[in-house]
Amino acid sequence: MNSDKPVLLVVDDTPTSVDLLQAILRDDFQIKVATNGDRAVAVAQKEPRPAIILLDVMMPGVDGYEACRRLKENPDTALIPVIFITAKSEVEDEQKGLSLGAVDYITKPFNPELVKARVEAQFSHYQETLALAEQVEDLHARLARAFTEFTTERLAAIIGAGEGDSVEFKSTMRWNLHADRSDKKIENGCLKTVAGYLNADGGVLLVGVADDGEVIGLGKDHFQTEDKMLLHWVNLIKAHLGAEFLRCIRSMVHDLGGQRVLVVECLPGTSPVFLNRDNQESFFVRMSNTTQDLKPSEVLAYVDEHFR
């Protein structure tokens, strides 16, 4: 038996069915056998775990339905695809099996080629699911490591170095002091900068810092509390950039020289982000100390180069 092959668990108390399934699938899988539901659950929890389970319904003791329920309730075995292979052919039986989390339901007597094809299809899908889950886990871990730990000293150093490709100052996020009212253009400016960072190499936006680096704080932004300001900011991102990009953005208020400053750190996005506001869709990138709006023809070339 080749231990490099993926494990397939056959759960059936009928020797002829077990022998036939082994003959069909042993070239592609390492076959393990259990003759009842209790044993099936125990075997599935041991390493190496099965990559797929073929499960009969009618067995002594714990039947296939109960075994499937237990497998799907256990986080260690929940993702393993279960295919029922059974003589129970009523529609209600199939519905019950699928409702318990099975991915397929094959009735006896079965066609060997059909069984092989359906097992291979579900195994392929399972491999894709595992790969995707691993990618998601890796992305979350990478993002958790990538965000900066901002101290007062680090922020002071960033401000002291001045604006650049990956640093931009905004004196305010919301309130136009000259007109004494809220101004969407100011919010748009902040969103443009964030979109530009996401579409490029990331960066830091500091709100409450004047262009010359003077820390003036957020007191003029006319929010009742900092929590309401952060909620407003997050809602702007969701509405006009997309909620999926929040994982690449960390926003916090930091005390700096007695003033409160909004620090928005952006990691490079994993897909293109467009700013949608006032019935317009724009694509911004960070280039040469500025945030630039690309033309449609430029967007295609940029996306092809940076996201494919």
261: which strand partners? Answer: 254
pLDDT in tens, 24-52: 999 999 999 999 999 999 999 999 999 99
pLDDT in tens, 63-122: 999 999 999 999 999 999 999 999 999 999 999 999 999 999 999 998 999 999 999 999
Q: What is the mean pLDDT of residues 211-231?
A: 90
Q: Which residues contact 105 (CB under 8 A, 6 or more apart)?
A: 83, 84, 86, 93, 94, 97, 98
Are the CB atoms for 186 and 194 separated by under 8 Å?
no
Strand ranges for the chain from DSSP E: 7-11, 30-34, 52-55, 82-86, 104-107, 167-170, 175-176, 181-182, 203-207, 249-256, 259-266, 275-277, 280-282, 284-287, 290-293
Are the CB atoms for 262 and 218 separated by under 8 Å?
yes
Q: Is 78 helix (H, G, I), strand (E, B) or coil?
A: coil
Domains of the chain in sequence order? 7-140 (3.40.50.2300), 150-306 (3.30.950.30)
Q: What is the pTM of this model?
A: 0.55
pLDDT for residue 144 is more than 80: no
How far apart CA 50 and CA 297 sit, in angstroms, is 50
pLDDT for residue 4 is more than 70: yes
pLDDT for residue 1 is more than 50: no
Are the CB atoms for 47 and 62 separated by under 8 Å?
no
Q: pLDDT-based confidence at 133, cuts 50/70/90?
A: confident
Amino acid at 163: E
102 torsion bin: left (phi>0), alpha (psi -120 to 50), beta (else): beta
pLDDT in tens, 237-266: 999 999 999 989 999 999 998 999 999 999
What's the N-to-C CA distance of the chain in angstroms?
A: 41
Using only the alpha carbons of the chain, give its radius of gyration. Answer: 29
